[in-house]
Amino acid sequence: MADWIGDGRARFPVPNRAGWAIGYFGSNNYYIKRVIMAIESWPYRYLAEAIVERNALVPKEKAALMNAEAKLAAFGPNLPYPHSSAVQGADRLRELRPRSGRSPWRALYRQVGDEFVIAAVGPEALVDPRGFTTACRRAEARLADLERERR
């Protein structure tokens, strides 16, 4: 049976590498549960300018963005829609969509080498189209500078 973790008051089965936890209660009461847990996480980082933009968000939106970052770290390039999507008309730029797209803010990122680089934080395209376009241009310029430095 599974290994267990806990503090004495509650015990939980330890998930395996695929994230599956198998345990039992009593004699024949089995359960299987999928645990969202990053055993191996994908590296990501913010550019300095993007950190300033993220810190300017209200706490509720900042927390939602941090939850989306955790999903990016857990799923990497396999993060599905509606949590992430390609930005139309931009060069290899993707948007991280907090609250499954219901947040008015987006983090714009690209995979550079082995890591994801979040280059800008801006408004959602339907909320502020001009602001979204400006954030995309900022992100593309910052990522171009980063890729030029790495050569």
Domain count, the chain: 2
- Domain with 82, as residue range(s), is 44-150
What would the two tokens of residue 89 be? Answer: 């008309």
**Pair 70, 94 in one domain:** yes
Contact 20, 14 (CB under 8 A): no
Region label for 79, one of left (φ > 0), alpha (ψ between -120 and 50) or beta (otherwise): beta
Residue 39: inside a domain? no
Q: What is the CATH number of the domain that holds 82?
A: 3.30.2310.20
Comparison of pLDDT for 24 and 121, the residue scoring more:
121
Do 136 and 86 sit in the same domain of this protein? yes
Do 22 and 54 reside in the same domain of the chain? Answer: no
Q: How confident is the model at residue 25 (pLDDT cuts 50, 70, 90)?
A: very low
Whether 8 and 66 share a structural domain = no
For residues 69 and 31, which has the higher predicted lDDT (pLDDT)? 69
Q: What is the 3-state secondary structure (H, E, C) of 44-61?
A: EEECHHHHHHHHCCCHHH
pLDDT band at 39 (very low <50, low <70, confident <90, very high): low
- Residue keyed to tokens 């690209």: 110
87: nearest Cα among 146, 138, 132, 54: 132
Q: Based on the fold, state whether residues 11 and 50 are members of the same structural domain.
A: no
Distance, CA of 149 to CA of 129 (rounded, Å) = 30
CB distance 99 to 60 below 8 Å: no
Q: What is the pLDDT of residues 97-132, one digit of tens each?
A: 999 999 999 999 999 988 999 999 999 999 999 999
| 13/66 same-domain check | no
